[in-house]
Amino acid sequence: MPRVKILVSGKKGKLYNAVVRAVASRRGIALEAIPPGASLFEKAQSGSYAAVVFVLETEPDWEPVRWLLQRNPALPLVAVLPKASPKQRKELLGEGVSEIIEAGDLPAGEVRRQLHGTLERLQTKPQPLSDSDLPITTDLHTIRSALTAILGNAELVLEKVPASHPRRKALEAIVQGVAEVETTLRRVERRLKTRGQSRP
């Protein structure tokens, strides 16, 4: 039986090392640990990997996660971090993170157990999209592409509008609203493409 390929990335440290050991100890998993950057993004887009496990230490680490989710809505991403506030959990799930594991003060054995449970679900072969789901995902992708263009143009205009301009608040509302809709559509697209992995 072929092994499931998993990418592990994030800032190196004690938690990162524990995650790498935990993933590597799971039978049937082929682990590839790689730092954030162009090589990670390229591999994530290759279609060869079942998921990305990303270790987050601080909020600035989130940018590679956002990029991965935007470019690869069908690729499950598991975030492992020391602790997440309710706001952080909401933001990560809103961005499209599949699962969040809070390591905190958990012993290495418990971190390994939680990761193994997640990996077991990822190793389950997903059911293909139904004939009715396929056109929906295509339409979602088209809508998201249009929204990205609208958002980019609105942001360019906003950069040229002074803070005192009476129309600036309206432009800011457009940018915020489009960004929220795009995030919601990305989350829907991700759930459509990965829901088979959560089925027994």
Residue 193 pLDDT greater than 90, yes or no: no
pLDDT of residue 200: 43
pTM above 0.85, yes or no: no
Higher pLDDT, 154 or 126: 154
- Domain co-membership, 15 together with 97: yes
Assess contact for 26 and 115: CB atoms under 8 A: yes
Residue 77 CA to residue 66 CA, distance in Å, equals 10
CA distances from 196 to 102, 125, 128 (A): 24, 8, 7
Q: In this structure, are residues 55 and 78 in contact, taking their beta carbons and an 8 Å threshold?
A: no
Q: Residue 174: which domain range?
A: 133-198
Q: What is the mean pLDDT of the chain?
A: 80
pLDDT value of residue 199: 43
* Residue listed under structure tokens 């997440």: 84
Cβ 161 vs Cβ 106: under 8 Å = no
Domain count, the chain: 2
pLDDT reported for residue 194: 58
Q: Which of 123, 144, 175 is the last residue of a domain?
A: 123
User: Which one of 74, 98, 123 terminates a domain?
Assistant: 123
For the chain, the distance separating the N- and C-terminal CA atoms, rounded to the nearest angstrom, is 19
Q: Which one of 89, 123, 157 terminates a domain?
A: 123
More confident residue, 179 or 43: 43
pLDDT in tens, 83-93: 877 888 887 87
**Domain check: are 8 and 95 in the same one?**
yes
- 128 assigned to some structural domain: no
Pairing mode, if any, of strands 51-55 and 77-81? parallel
The pLDDT score that the predictor gives to residue 122 is: 67
Q: Is residue 34 domain-shared with residue 64, that is, in the same domain?
A: yes
Do 113 and 138 sit in the same domain of this protein?
no
Q: Is 104 inside a domain boundary? A: yes
